[in-house]
Amino acid sequence: MARLYGPGDVQLTREAAPSSGPGEVLLEVTAVGLCGSDLHWYRRGGIGDAGLIRPLVLGHEFGGVILAGPRAGERVAADPADPCGRCEPCRRGRTNICIAPRFAGFGTTDGALRSVMPWPSHLLHRVPDAIADDEVALLEPLGVALHALDLAPIAVGARAGVYGCGPLGLLLVQLLRARGASVIVATDRLAHRVAAARALGATHGFVVSAEPDDPAAVGGEARDVPVDVAFEVAGDDAAIADAIAAVKPGGRVALVGIPDDDRSSFPAAAARRKELSFHVCRRMAQTDLPRAIAVAEAGQVDLSALITHRFPLGDASDAFAMLASRHGRKVVVNPALPASDRP
């Protein structure tokens, strides 16, 4: 398995074979997606207000094959969140904001960057053959994108903006297209991500500056294309400022990205003048992963188009270096992939 010992320090370890606890099954992990939150862990050994408690196995976007029991041989996608079921949010059905959850690759709960892992059976959802193993690793972020759209829904013909076009932003672009948005604005600092957004359905694409308060900056014209709903998926103040500038008076802004230093700021005057509604997206609801499987099976999104790099587990350190370089789109780790077969 691959453990994170500190910023930039991913090490392979050999450990005793895991056993399953009550309600759990053993899962042969077939694919693990690395995402922006993993990048936070890798770069600074933490995310938000959480830090490493001990060397941690990351990986919360994963799928595999159940090894034993009544469901043996079943291909599944995993919900990485195991809510307590007892707290007030859980009792209201808001399990994604459970105050005491276990989450794969967080705290003391090891994630999926290993060959075999135990996980609760009820959090493993069957996937059809139409969804390839690598694509299964993208179902969790697709569930997050669906949750973001629930927070800030759009009507057919509406105008929407996606400010930040990493894999999650690119999934939002595709969902907005599928839901009939008439205008889809896509922005990012990286030209190859903007090009991908255009290829996947964005009607407008802009490479933007990192300066949040410079309307004359490169890509500043993105603010001139009005939208009804804005999704900030970059985790930085410049993207929030662009979203606020573009969204209509009385519109919605969904904050989906995670900032580097656990703090965000925005132009208050513009937001107040427009009386905007802000929604902060937290992971996904427990109904979202089955929805994501259905959306992918129906062909409403192209998951394979997001995957640009595959690594074996033995090259996990290289996989994180590629993630940090931001040269591609989605990095997937395949625990069973021999190093010599890596594309």
Residue 91's pLDDT is 94
DSSP structure class, residue 17: P
Rounded CA gap, 170 and 166, in Å? 6
Q: pLDDT digit string (tens) for 36-75?
A: 899 999 998 888 888 899 999 999 999 999 999 999 999 9
Residue 124 or residue 40, greater confidence: 124
Residue 298 confidence (pLDDT): 96
Structure tokens at 338: 């021999």
20-38 average pLDDT score? 95
CA distance 40 to 24: 29
Residues 62, 68, 73, 76, Cα dihedral to 10°: -30
Helix, strand, or coil (residue 89): helix
Structure tokens at 341: 């077969």
> Do residues 90 and 286 make contact, with C-beta atoms less than 8 angstroms apart?
no
CA-CA-CA-CA torsion for 101, 102, 107, 112, nearest 10 degrees? -150
pLDDT digits (tens, 9 = 90+) for 71-120: 999 999 999 999 999 999 999 999 999 999 999 999 999 999 999 999 99
314 pLDDT more than 70: yes
User: For residue 217, is pLDDT > 90?
Assistant: no
Check if the beta carbon of residue 231 is closer than 8 Å to that of residue 152.
yes
335 backbone φψ class: left, alpha, beta (φ>0; ψ -120 to 50): alpha
Evaluate if residue 233 carries a pLDDT over 90.
Answer: yes
Higher model confidence: residue 30 or residue 45? Answer: 30
160 burial type by CB count under 10 A (0-12 exposed, 13-18 middle, 19+ buried): buried
Residue with tokens 């394979």: 304
81-82 and 46-47 beta bridge pairing: unpaired
Quick one: average pLDDT of 236-251?
Answer: 94
- The 3-state secondary structure of 314-339, one letter per residue: HHHHHHHHHHHHCCCCEEEEECCCCH
> How confident is the model over 322-332, as pLDDT tens digits?
999 989 899 99
Q: What is the pLDDT of residues 164-212, one digit of tens each?
A: 999 999 999 999 999 999 999 999 999 999 999 999 999 999 998 766 5
- Report CA-CA distances (Å) from 90 to 83, 87, 289: 7, 5, 17
> Average per-residue pLDDT in the chain?
92
Amino acid type, 201:
G
* 17 burial type by CB count under 10 A (0-12 exposed, 13-18 middle, 19+ buried): exposed
Q: What is the pTM of this model?
A: 0.93
Distance separating alpha carbons of residues 119 and 127, to the nearest angstrom:
16
Residues ≥6 apart with Cβ < 8 Å to 91: none
Task: Please name each of the domains of the chain with its CATH number.
Answer: 2-138+303-341 (3.90.180.10), 144-280 (3.40.50.720)
